[in-house]
A and B are shown apart, each in its own frame.
Chain A
Amino acid sequence: MTPLSQLLPGQFGKLASLNPERGVDQRLMALGLLPGMVLKLIRKAPLGDPLAIEFAGQVVSLRLAEAENLIVDVSADCPIQRPRQP
C-alpha cells in the first residue's frame, strides 16, 4: 500500500482507499475515482507539483499534498497494457 504521491511517472496502481470526508476526494469520486479503480500516474508538473493522473479514460491534475491521502495498491493485478488515452 503506497500513497499515490509516491508513485513514479508511468506507474499504475489500484485505488485502495480515500477519505470521503475531504472535498478533494468528493470531487474525484464524482469523476469516477472510487476504490478498486485502476489509475496511472502520468507525470509530475515541471516544478514537481501537481500530478497528472489518468483513470476512467480521463486525465486529471491534483496536488501532491492531496495525493498523499489516496492510498493505492501497486502490487494488484494492474493491466500491463496502457489504458486507452482520451
Chain B
Amino acid sequence: MSAPDTGLLVALVGNPNTGKSTLFNALTGLRQRVGNYPGVTVARKSGTCDLGEGQKVELVDLPGLYSLSAASPDEQVVTDALAGNIAGDRRPDAVLLVVDATNLLRNLFLASQVAELGLPVVLVLNQADVAKEQGLRIDTDLLSRRLGGVPVVLTSAWKGEGVAEIRRALARALAEKTQLARVAWPAEIARALGDVAAAASAGTDRAVSAADAQRLLFDATPSTAERLGWSAAARDKVLRSARDRVRNAGYNPMAAEPLVHYAHLRALLDGVVAEGLGKAGRTAAVDRLLLHRVLGPVLFVGIMLGFFASVFWLAKFPMGWIQSGVDALKLFVAPPLEPYPMLQSLLADGIVGGVGAFLTFLPQILILFLFLGVLEDSGYMARAAFIMDRLFSWCGLNGKSFVPMLSGFACAIPSLLSTRTIEDPKARLATAFVVPFMSCSARFPVYALMCGAFIGPLYGAGWESVVMVAMHCVGLLFAVPTAFVLTRLVLKVKPQPFVLELPRYQLPKPRDVLWRMWQNAAEFVSKAGTVIFAITIVVWALSYFPRDAAVAERVRAASPTLSADALRARIQAAYVEQSYMGRFGKAVQPAFDPLGFDWKITVGVLASFPAREVIVSTLGVTYSVGEGAEADSQALRKAMQDARWPEGPRAGSPIFSLAAVLALMVFFALCSQCGPTVATLAQETGGWRWAALSFGYMTLLAWAVAALVYQVVSRLA
C-alpha cells in the first residue's frame, strides 16, 4: 500500500467502457502508482490529482462495474473500497462517478446505488462529444438539481475537454460534501431494510450501514454477510422474513432493487435529455461487417493472423539492434578483463549474454501488449469473445476466457490477472489453469532458434512459417481438452452465464495504449527479469565450476598437435562437460533419451524450468562457449547444426535431427517452465494445490508428447 496517510482520497467509479481510464490518465498526468489490493490480485492504480490552489488529492481508479451487487473479485474490490473495508486503505472522501453521456439511464443505476453510501459525489458525463454527435442535448443544470445539487460535468476525456472543470467540481464537492439524492424506497421495502440493518447490527456488534443492509437483503450471494461476520444461522431467519415482507409488497426480492432504482431514474431523467437529429454512429454498420455470419470469422482469423505476423515482423528489427548492441557490449567489456578469466566469463558470457538474450525478445512483448491494448480499447475484444464463445462454451469456458487466453500468447502473468473478469470462480480457475498452455512470447525465442537453425535452412522459409504457426497452436490443442476434463469431470461447472456488453467502437487513444503497454512491460520485466538475471548467474556458475586446472593439462597432453584456437575450444568443452551442470545433465539425460535430447540439451531444459527463455542462453553456454565460439546466434546455430552424437546407438548422426528439433519445440510448448507463472497461479487460485497440479500435469504431458513426437518422426524420417 503506497497510499499516503494524510490528504484526501477520491475513488474513480463507473461502468466499463465509459472512458474511465482515459480520464484517470488525464487527471493524474501519468503520475501513477500501481500496487495490489491485499489478499486478491486486483491491481490498485492510484495517482495524484491536482485540484488547483495547492490542493492535491489521491485518485484511485477502481475496476469498472455495472452494479454494486458484486459477482467477481474485481467488483468485490469496488464494493469493499467504497465501504472502507480494505485493510491498509482508507474509505474514500469522495467519489468521482464517470458515466457514459450517451446512455444515462443504464449508467445512473450504479450512481443510484452509490448514492446510498452517503459519500460526496461529482458526476462526470463523459463522451459528451459522441452524445452531441448523436443529437442528444443534456440539461446538466436540471440533472444536477434532480440529483440533489451534486456537480455535474460534461467532458470528453478522449479530446481532453472538461478535465479542468472536473478538478474544480471535485474541490467543490469535497468542500461542500455534495451528496447524490437517494432513491425513495417503498415503505415495506424500507421497513425490511430497517429490520435487516437492526438484526445485522445486533448480530455483528457494529453499526451496519444502509448500503450494507441493501446488499444483505438484495444479493443472492453471502459475500457481504461473510465480510460483516454475520453467521448463516443468525441471518437466515431474518433475511427470509425480510424478503417475505418485500414479496408481500408486490416485489420479487431479487428484482426489487433494479425495479425501484430504474423507476426512480426514469422519473429523474424525464426532461433532462432531449433527442434531436443526429448521426446514428458507425458501430452498427461496422458490426454488420465484423460480425457477419461469413465475413466475421474470416476477418477475425485475418485480424489475428495479421496481429501475430506483424508482431514477429515488426519485432525483427529492434531485436536485431539489441542483438548487435549486446555483442558490441560483450566485445567492449571482455578485453580489459583478460587477466581475470573468471570475472571476464561471468560478465561477458554470464551477465551480458544472459540478460541480452532476455532483452532481445522485449520488443515482441511490447508490440504484443500494444496490439492487445488496441484490440481492447477499440471495442473489438468484446466482438472476438462474441464470435469465439461457442467454441469455448462446450468445454465449460466462455468467450471471456478468450481474452486471457489470447493475451496468454504475450505472457501468462498478465493473462492470469485478467481472468478476474470471469465471474464464476470455477470457470475462472479452469481458465487460469489452461492459460499457461498458450504459447507465450518467452517460447518464441526457442521456436525462432530451432526454426531458424534447422527448419528454415533444410526445408525453406515456407515450412519455417508453418512450423512457427503450428507450434503456437500446440498449446491450444491441448488446452481445450484439458479445460473440458477439468470443468466437466473435476470441477463439475454448471453452464456459465455469459452477459457481455458489445461497446461502441472507438479509436484507441495512443497515450492510454502506450502507457498501459509500458506499465505491463515494466511489470513483466521487473518480475521476470529479476528471476532470469538470477538464473543466468546460477547457470553460469554451475557450468563454470569446478575449474580444475588439471582438466586443461589433460587436454593439452592428449592433443599436442592442435592449433592454439582449436585447443582452447577443446579445453572449454572439457571444462563445461565436467562442471556441476554437465555432470548433473549427464546423470539426468537417460530420462530425456526417449525425447532425443543429449546431455547438453538436458542441461538447457533443466536450467529453463524457472524461466523457459533461459534455454537459448544456456545452449549458448553449453554449445558456443563449450566449443570456443561467441554466443551470438549465428555461431550458436552453426555449433548446433554441427553437433553429432559422440557415442551410443546414434553415434555420428546429428543430435538436432528433425525429430529432436520438433520434440524439443513441443516440449517447450507444453512444459510448465516459468517460476513467476506458477507463483501467480498459486496466488490467483488461493493456494499451491492448483499451482502444483498445473506444474506436474504440464511437465508430464510435455515429456509424453515430446517423446511421442520424437519416436514417431524419427521412425518416419
Question: What residues of chain A have their CB less than 8 Å away from a CB belonging to chain B?
Answer: 20-24, 26-32, 34, 42-43, 45-50, 52, 56-63, 65-66, 84-86
From B66, B71, B382, B502, A31 is in contact (CB under 8 Å) with B66
From A24, A28, A46, A65, B297 is in contact (CB under 8 Å) with A46
**B294-313 near A? 1/0 per residue, CB < 8 Å:** 10110000000000000000
Contact across chains for A50 and B386 when beta carbons are under 8 A apart = yes
Q: How far is the CA of A57 from the CA of B391 in the complex (A)?
A: 28
Contact across chains for A52 and B109 when beta carbons are under 8 A apart = no
Which 4 pairs, one residue from A and one from B, show the smallest C-beta to C-beta distance?
A24-B497, A47-B390, A20-B254, A30-B67
A59-B281 contact in complex given A20-B254, A47-B391, C-beta closer than 8 Å: no
**B386-399 near A? 1/0 per residue, CB < 8 Å:** 11011101000001
B255 at the interface (CB under 8 A from A): yes
Contacts A29-B255, A32-B106 known; 12 new A-B pairs at CB < 8 A? A20-B252, A20-B255, A24-B497, A24-B499, A26-B69, A29-B259, A31-B106, A32-B258, A46-B291, A50-B386, A56-B105, A62-B497
Contacts of B255 in A (CB 8 A): 20, 29, 34
Q: How far is the CA of A46 from the CA of B150 in the complex (A)?
A: 45
Contact across chains for A45 and B220 when beta carbons are under 8 A apart = no
Contact across chains for B497 and A66 when beta carbons are under 8 A apart = yes
Nearest Cβ in chain B — how far from A40, in angstroms? Answer: 11
Nearest Cβ in chain A — how far from B166, in angstroms? Answer: 24
Nearest Cβ in chain B — how far from A21, in angstroms? Answer: 6
A61-B109 contact in complex given A21-B220, A47-B390, C-beta closer than 8 Å: no
A27-B71 contact in complex given A60-B501, A61-B399, A86-B102, C-beta closer than 8 Å: yes
From A45, A56, A62, B106 is in contact (CB under 8 Å) with A56
CB contacts under 8 Å to A, within B490-548, are: 495, 497-504
A-B contact pairs, 14 of them (CB 8 A): A23-B71, A26-B254, A27-B497, A29-B258, A29-B259, A32-B105, A32-B262, A45-B389, A46-B291, A46-B292, A52-B287, A59-B502, A61-B500, A62-B500
B712 at the interface (CB under 8 A from A): no
Nearest Cβ in chain A — how far from B133, in angstroms? Answer: 12
Q: How far is the CA of A58 from the CA of B495 in the complex (A)?
A: 25
Contact across chains for B386 and A57 when beta carbons are under 8 A apart = no
Contact across chains for A56 and B280 when beta carbons are under 8 A apart = no
Contact across chains for A86 and B69 when beta carbons are under 8 A apart = no
Contact across chains for B103 and A57 when beta carbons are under 8 A apart = yes
Contacts of A31 in B (CB 8 A): 66, 106, 109, 499, 501
Contact across chains for B106 and A58 when beta carbons are under 8 A apart = yes
A56-B103 contact in complex given A45-B291, A46-B293, A85-B280, C-beta closer than 8 Å: yes
From B103, B252, B296, B385, A86 is in contact (CB under 8 Å) with B103
From A20, A65, A86, B504 is in contact (CB under 8 Å) with A86
Contacts of B393 in A (CB 8 A): 49, 63
Nearest Cβ in chain B — how far from A51, in angstroms? Answer: 9
Contacts of B69 in A (CB 8 A): 26, 30
Q: How far is the CA of A43 from the CA of B287 in the complex (A)?
A: 10
**B142-181 near A? 1/0 per residue, CB < 8 Å:** 0000000000000000000000000000000000000000
Contact across chains for A85 and B497 when beta carbons are under 8 A apart = no
Q: How far is the CA of A28 from the CA of B109 in the complex (A)?
A: 12
B134 at the interface (CB under 8 A from A): yes
Contact across chains for A34 and B387 when beta carbons are under 8 A apart = no
Q: How far is the CA of A21 from the CA of B220 in the complex (A)?
A: 8
Contact across chains for B254 and A61 when beta carbons are under 8 A apart = no
Contact across chains for A58 and B103 when beta carbons are under 8 A apart = yes
B714 at the interface (CB under 8 A from A): no
A61-B294 contact in complex given A21-B220, A46-B387, A50-B386, C-beta closer than 8 Å: no
Contact across chains for A32 and B291 when beta carbons are under 8 A apart = no
Q: How far is the CA of A76 from the CA of B495 in the complex (A)?
A: 32
Contacts of A65 in B (CB 8 A): 495
From A34, A47, A85, B258 is in contact (CB under 8 Å) with A34
Contacts of A62 in B (CB 8 A): 497-500
A34-B500 contact in complex given A48-B390, A85-B283, C-beta closer than 8 Å: no
Contacts of A63 in B (CB 8 A): 389, 393, 495, 497-498
Q: How far is the CA of A32 from the CA of B499 in the complex (A)?
A: 13
B693 at the interface (CB under 8 A from A): no
From A26, A50, A57, B498 is in contact (CB under 8 Å) with A50
Q: How far is the CA of A61 from the CA of B385 in the complex (A)?
A: 9
From A22, A30, A43, B291 is in contact (CB under 8 Å) with A43
B226 at the interface (CB under 8 A from A): no
From B275, B385, B498, residue with most partner A Cβ within 10 Å? B498
Contacts of B294 in A (CB 8 A): 46
B284 at the interface (CB under 8 A from A): yes
Contact across chains for B106 and A50 when beta carbons are under 8 A apart = no
Contact across chains for B502 and A27 when beta carbons are under 8 A apart = no
Contact across chains for B399 and A50 when beta carbons are under 8 A apart = yes
Contact across chains for B389 and A32 when beta carbons are under 8 A apart = no
Contacts of B66 in A (CB 8 A): 27, 30-31
Contacts of B283 in A (CB 8 A): 59, 85-86
Contact across chains for A85 and B389 when beta carbons are under 8 A apart = no
Q: How far is the CA of A18 from the CA of B353 in the complex (A)?
A: 63
Contact across chains for A84 and B275 when beta carbons are under 8 A apart = yes
Contacts of A27 in B (CB 8 A): 66-67, 71, 497, 499
Contacts of B391 in A (CB 8 A): 47
Q: How far is the CA of A7 from the CA of B296 in the complex (A)?
A: 21
Q: How far is the CA of A32 from the CA of B262 in the complex (A)?
A: 7
Q: How far is the CA of A46 from the CA of B399 in the complex (A)?
A: 13
By beta carbon, the residue of chain A nearest B300 is: A46
From A42, A45, A58, A85, B390 is in contact (CB under 8 Å) with A45
Contact across chains for B390 and A57 when beta carbons are under 8 A apart = no
Nearest Cβ in chain A — how far from B179, in angstroms? Answer: 22
Contacts of A57 in B (CB 8 A): 102-103, 105-106
Q: How far is the CA of A76 from the CA of B103 in the complex (A)?
A: 24
Q: How far is the CA of A20 from the CA of B275 in the complex (A)?
A: 32
Contact across chains for A52 and B502 when beta carbons are under 8 A apart = yes
Q: How far is the CA of A62 from the CA of B495 in the complex (A)?
A: 12
Contacts of A60 in B (CB 8 A): 499-502
Contact across chains for B389 and A61 when beta carbons are under 8 A apart = yes
Contacts of A52 in B (CB 8 A): 287, 291, 386, 502
By beta carbon, the residue of chain B nearest A24 is: B497
Nearest Cβ in chain B — how far from A45, in angstroms? Answer: 5
Contacts of A49 in B (CB 8 A): 389-390, 393
Contacts of A84 in B (CB 8 A): 134, 275, 280
Nearest Cβ in chain A — how far from B300, in angstroms? Answer: 8
Q: How far is the CA of A85 from the CA of B307 in the complex (A)?
A: 29
Contact across chains for B386 and A61 when beta carbons are under 8 A apart = yes
Nearest Cβ in chain A — how far from B113, in angstroms? Answer: 9
Nearest Cβ in chain A — how far from B370, in angstroms? Answer: 26
Contacts of B296 in A (CB 8 A): 46
Contacts of B220 in A (CB 8 A): 21, 23, 26
From B109, B385, B495, B500, A30 is in contact (CB under 8 Å) with B109
**B589-611 near A? 1/0 per residue, CB < 8 Å:** 00000000000000000000000
Contacts of A28 in B (CB 8 A): 499
